Amino acid sequence: SKAELLLITADVTVDAERIIKTTIDRFGQLDVLVNNAGIFEGGNILDIDVDQFDRLMNTNMRSIFLLTKLAAPHLIKTKGNIVNVSSASGLRANHAMSTYCCSKAAVDQFTRCIALDLASQNVRVNSVNPGIIVTDIFRYSGPSPAELDEFYKRLKKMHPLGRVGEPKEVALAIVFLASDSTSFITGANLPIDGGRHVVSSLIVD
């Protein structure tokens, strides 16, 4: 049978309750929550402002808290699970990316804490930590097409496998963590970064 698709146009920073309610009204239950919304903004601590900090934290962390809190009672009923999309930047410090790195590190710690909170209810909680992946998040941050191509070429060296990642590689890892194949895994932060997280040090000019 064909899967039924529900599209909801929403802002995760303010519409979490509507997202969950609309989903339950349509399907009657919730089996998996994937917290995938995120934004990127860089900047040195001398340049960033409070508004930027709030934007990043509200989208990258607060929305995950709200959706998780609202989804948890439904996931307990189905013994479902949660997969949060974090970043390799949550595992490693990066120059001029302090707020983004902190927002993703918060996602990783939240994942571990909520895994403990919900373990007794048989709800698993894990996260994935992608490295540089070819997605629109970088295009939306403002570079020209030529600058974006150069960006990807330059940052291939960040990954020991010598390339950047593709969205499908992240998606397959999410499906894996959400499946019964990982029924004894919870509280894990899974790097999908071509080995970036094991590099001892890295400075990119």
Residues forming the active site: 100
Rounded (10°) angle between helices 16-27 and 63-78 = 20
